[in-house]
Amino acid sequence: MMTKTKVAIIGPGNIGTDLMFKVMRLSTSLEMGAMVGIDPASDGLRRAASLGVPTTHEGVDGLIAMDGFDEIGIVFDATSAKAHVANAAKLAAYGKKLVDLTPAAIGPYVVPPVNLEEHLEDHTREPSNVNMVTCGGQATIPIVAAISRVTAVPYAEIVASIASKSAGPGTRANIDEFTETTTAAIEKVGGAQRGKAIIILNPAEPPLIMRDTVLALIGDAEESTHDAIRASIEDMVAKVQEYVPGYRLKQQVQFTEIPEDEPVHTLLPKGSPKVTTKVTVFLEVEGAAMYLPAYAGNLDIMTSAAMRVAETIAERSASRAKEEVTA
């Protein structure tokens, strides 16, 4: 039986608390080592303490001072972009792996089914801080990548619509960072030459589950290419569903011919070849309702992706340690 890796979660809000429940109920390779906050009256800290998880309301300084800090191998940060910069600086000297659930993007963007493996292939060069982009990025970048591995994508645009009730203070404080980070990751991870991201906080009552739209402009109108894109997207959706069961296509992938007089050139990067076809993909993400309501799929996909990354790191580390012992 593999020894579990202890983890700490900074930020006992909705995301951090949901992540704690996932680690405790689902993970075979991770175990809770600490829940960290700054408000002693925090509901997340109270819940953690009631479950026997060590807690501190003194932030990262309190985490570093805790008994058992040396045993913690991975630290999740579910605070805010600004807070993560300070937290990462304080933890830099201690050799912990940081999984950043904020849009701070200090480390490389990681979307598990797209580029996790390339960051973990050589453990001597593994980043100590990886960034989970955003909830919209985790939902839509796999689709952009699925299209771009079939044909060039001069332009990709995503619209993420989430229930207003699922957007806590951290999300609301990071709206600008959300669009900037997601846009950059659409290009760097998704493979689009130019990207754009839009987030909508939907105030509908009762709250609606997360809905995402991916629009990509391509220059290949061949039916065989469209069939390959459909297959690639279906394959990618299946990979995301391995850790987010509520992730699904809302309807069939759509291909629309772009009229000659439509001014799409304003969206394309300079020197881009002519585009002929618009690819539209509609998604929805239903949460697991383990701690948060089912409509909070945006938070569920973030915590699920973050745990996928941490589990992979932990499993690779345990495998290397075993190899060193038997060598």
Active-site residues: which are they? 135
Helices (H), 110-167: 112-120, 135-148
Name the one residue in this structure whose structure tokens are 């290397």.
Answer: 320
Sheet containing 97-100: order of strands? 55-56, 30-36, 5-10, 72-77, 97-100, 129-131
User: DSSP letter at 240?
Assistant: H
User: DSSP letter at 206?
Assistant: S
At residue 15, the 3 state secondary structure works out as: helix
Rounded Cα distance, 46 and 40, in Å: 8
Q: How many CB atoms lie within 10 A of CB 256?
A: 10
First to last CA, the chain: 19
Name the one residue in this structure whose structure tokens are 């201690």.
Answer: 94
Sheet strands (E) in the chain: 5-10, 30-36, 55-56, 72-77, 97-100, 129-131, 155-163, 194-202, 210-218, 247-249, 254-257, 277-285
